[in-house]
């Protein structure tokens, strides 16, 4: 897209996950996220808008124990839908998403931070004319609810 005047811009992400721990260091769960970005090229072309909806299953692993802070590794598999449009209505395109995140979990203070990566390769959206990937790298800051 950079050849067309569109810059690489950050996406805003709202994400959540729920996991049930079967042992103190192994859990299974589900995740979901919504991300959005927009970009207007310098050459005055139409605005690119890209909302992405995604969700799926995950495995939560605490490989070095559950003390605070704990190292958290979360492989993920799911499905995502992108509605990328350039100045008009978008055709939804979807694809299998895979990846995961690694982070630090502070259960006693109910705080977490993580970096992640999800890949979402799919066919072209509408008039885009080329395949693309609606995944990417993430940096997440969140809270922990024990229950």
The fold for domain 2-143 equals: Porin (2.40.160)
pLDDT of residue 19: 92
Between CA 113 and CA 103 the distance in angstroms is: 6
Structure tokens at 53: 């909806």
Between CA 76 and CA 7 the distance in angstroms is: 28
pLDDT of residue 127: 56
Tell me the average confidence (pLDDT) per consecutive run of 10 residues in the chain, 147 residues long.
70 89 93 90 82 95 86 95 80 90 86 90 67 83 77
Domain boundaries, the chain: 2-143
């Amino acid at each position: 897209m950079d050849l067309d005047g569109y810059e690489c811009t950050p996406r805003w992400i709202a994400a959540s996950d729920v996991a049930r721990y079967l042992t103190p260091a192994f859990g299974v769960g589900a995740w979901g996220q919504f991300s959005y970005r927009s970009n207007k090229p310098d050459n005055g072309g139409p605005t690119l808008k890209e909302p992405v909806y995604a969700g799926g299953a995950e495995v939560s692993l605490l490989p070095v124990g559950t003390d605070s802070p704990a190292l958290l590794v979360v492989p993920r598999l799911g499905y995502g839908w992108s509605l990328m449009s350039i100045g008009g209505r978008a055709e939804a395109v979807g694809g299998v998403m895979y990846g995961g995140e690694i982070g630090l979990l502070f259960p006693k203070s109910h705080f977490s931070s993580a970096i992640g990566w999800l890949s979402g390769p799919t066919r072209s959206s509408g008039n885009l004319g080329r395949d693309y990937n609606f995944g990417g790298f993430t940096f997440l800051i969140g809270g922990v609810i024990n229950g």
